A and B are shown apart, each in its own frame.
Chain A
Amino acid sequence: MAITMTESAAERVQSFLLSRGKGLGIRLAVKTSGCSGMAYVLEFADAAEAEDQVFEDHGVTVIVDPKSLAYLDGTELDYGKEGLNEGFKFNNPNEKAACGCGESFTV
């Protein structure tokens, strides 16, 4: 079981953490909402709970709760640009379909 991230994603996370001035790392999760089942959650993390799984890649701490991990296992977090827009991408092998806008997905 693992979550990984690309180097560009790690760099961005680190620079965001630096300008935020605090934080242990980031938290990845899924929640049930949106137009196609599940939605990704990507947040700054200030603390890890006892049951959380903690990963580290490229020097960035990634925290995932066990329930979400079932949906996220094998996910690679990437950072990319689409025109003027830039942001994080979940390359999730479990994802079967996404809604048109890509903001939610099903497994």
Chain B
Amino acid sequence: MALLQLSEPGQSEAPHQRKLAAGIDLGTTNSLVASVRSGVAETLPDEQGRSILPSVVRYSAEGVQVGHAAKAAAAADPHNTIASVKRLMGRGIKDIKSLAGRLPYLFAQQESAVPRIHTAGGDVTPVEVSAEILRVLAARARDTLGGELEGVVVTVPAYFDDAQRQATKDAAKLAGLKVLRLLNEPTAAAVAYGLDTGSDGLHAIYDLGGGTFDISLLRLHRGVFEVLSTGGDSALGGDDFDRAVAEWILTQAGVREADPKILRALMRDACAAKETLTQAERAELDIQLPDGQRWQGALSRAQFDALIDPLIKKTIVACRRALRDAGVKPEEIQDVVMVGGSTRVPRVREQVGEFFRTEPLVSIDPDQVVAVGAALQADVLAGNKPDDEMLLLDVNPLSLGIETMGGLTEKIIPRNTTIPVARAQEFTTFKDGQTAMAVHVLQGERELVADNRSLARFELRGIPPMVAGAARIRVTYTVDADGLLQVEAEEQTSGTRAAIEVKPSYGLTDGEIEGMLKDSIAHARDDLEARRLAEQKVEAARTEEALRAALAADGDALLSPEERSRVETQLQRLADTARGADPKAIEQGIEALEQACEFYVQRRMDSSVRNAMAGRSVEEFEQ
């Protein structure tokens, strides 16, 4: 029979309706998967009892290896073994050039904007490599939980931009997973400690991993975490601790040169010594030297601390900068959450605690805390918790709109709408035979395009030529739970479509959002006037446009030279008025022109009816 898990009172699911969900920490060096079972969020180990899956993928003619086996083969097969692919996610060829010198991979030469890595198993993109890692973790979750996953929460660094987030989502999709939400890694760590259910306040997440350091300051406000600032060093981590110890050993042993094999062994010994020193005061060393001899010695806690202090100091400098960026003092921080294996080092905890003047939170395994937080969030999003329990609800802070004729902003998703949300609106063409339409995506509360923030522009091309106003172009704005905006324009009769994606709040601070809101209130009246004027100008332009088109088509055939010049004078008069700033005058001008042209419009209609009937018998029209 099936294995059952304990549920909260009244929360038992009907058979086959269990909603299995998992949280995935897709890390640069290591990845983990966690899930909530019987009310407890835990990482899920593999058959060998290992929770950690090295984020390493090896491609060969025989197939794909992921994790420990791939990592073990990295030294022997560097070109086909891809590690740290997270650094390449969402990056273009140009971004990667700066990194490529340090990466052993062969990048395939080609036109596309997405870099492809050349391997024995074919060319692969970073998204495909990440998808392999996700596939292995998801399979582990399915085997452990005994069913298909409803969805997953994948964590991403807080500083990931739109392209990097989208690439992560694409990887999950490619792995056949439904992403319930992308969650910022620091937010996940805070959720793991239950900080989201606590009182509003400021929290720091100190994440020192194997090769990277990140500091994030979060503000909890009514159950929603907001990232105030981030900082760090993408080339600083526990590996540097090992290197410092290895160099110390070399100096102590009087060794000047060592081959790579000896160095690798030495790094392993240094790492072991570091791990010993988290518990013990002293680590014994017995090292193989290049000349075949051995060196014996000991490293004390105090010596180790002295070796790594300069490195810890670097992280503290980054913390100070992050605080300054957020305009926060160290003592305002309520909690410091420790993430990453290197925060096990007692000296790190001590220094961080001293800087923030608070005891850091360390009770959850620092390697697992992000995955655990993601699992808790996944459990909620999959619908396994009562509704009133935490849900990191977000709203879009500013309205999202589109530019219409006359430089006006038409709001499509008003501000404070809870996301995810999708809204659509229909637009049409302005000119006869118009085959393209520019879509200008805007953010802000003001009426005029010039006063709002421009997010993106794209063009819908290939609209079939029709008379002005006949085309039906449906523009859909979709903001997902991660704040990603997708704008899609589709011409309904032909199905021609174009789309673009943007991250609206990217790069906007609270202050700027507030400023944009205040402006919109202060300028409400001006904006109304500006809108009326712009609308009348558009109307005038439309009337002029139609009349000019008509004159060009049959002006000479239907009008005498005097009549034509009269119409043109009136047309010119409106054009002059429309350049002014009086909406009322323009409105009257339009009316005057329409009156002056009434006879012409009448003649045009008669003539088009005549043309339509020419050469046909009456019977044809009676059918």
Q: Which of A's residues lie within 8 Å of B, judged by CB? A: 12-13, 16, 19-20, 26-27, 31, 33-35, 39-46, 80, 82-90, 98-99, 101-105
Contacts and interface: CB of A to CB of B under 8 A. Distances in A.
A40 B9 contact: no
Interface in B18-63: 37-40, 44, 46-47
A85 B145 contact: yes
Nearest to A77: B4
A84 B140 contact: yes
B1 A33 contact: no
A43 B146 CA distance: 19
B21 to A, nearest CB: 15
Contacts of A90: 1, 4
A27 B9 contact: yes
Contacts of B146: 82, 85, 87
A44 B8 contact: yes
Contact of A19 (B5, B40, B47, B143): B40
B16 A86 contact: no
A42 B7 contact: yes
Interface centre among B4, B8, B46 (most CB of A within 10 A): B4
A31 B16 CA distance: 14
A86 B14 contact: no
B94 to A, nearest CB: 43
A82 B4 CA distance: 12
Given A34-B14, A101-B16, A88 B4 contact: yes
B508 interface: no
Interface of B: 1-12, 14-16, 37-40, 44, 46-47, 140, 143-146
A43 B7 contact: yes
Closest 5 CB pairs of A and B: A87-B3, A103-B15, A102-B1, A34-B15, A102-B2
24 contacts: A16-B40, A27-B9, A31-B14, A33-B14, A34-B14, A35-B15, A39-B14, A39-B15, A41-B7, A41-B12, A42-B5, A43-B9, A46-B9, A84-B143, A86-B3, A86-B144, A87-B37, A88-B6, A89-B1, A90-B1, A103-B1, A103-B15, A103-B16, A104-B15
A104 B16 CA distance: 9
A43 B9 CA distance: 5
Given A42-B6, A44-B9, A104-B15, 13 more contacts: A19-B39, A33-B14, A35-B15, A39-B14, A43-B7, A43-B8, A84-B140, A85-B143, A85-B146, A87-B5, A101-B2, A103-B16, A105-B1
B2 to A, nearest CB: 4
A33 B15 contact: yes
B9 A45 contact: yes
Given A34-B14, A39-B14, A26 B143 contact: no
Nearest to A88: B4
A46 B9 CA distance: 8
Contact of A13 (B2, B6, B37): B6
Contacts of A99: 15
Contacts of B46: 84
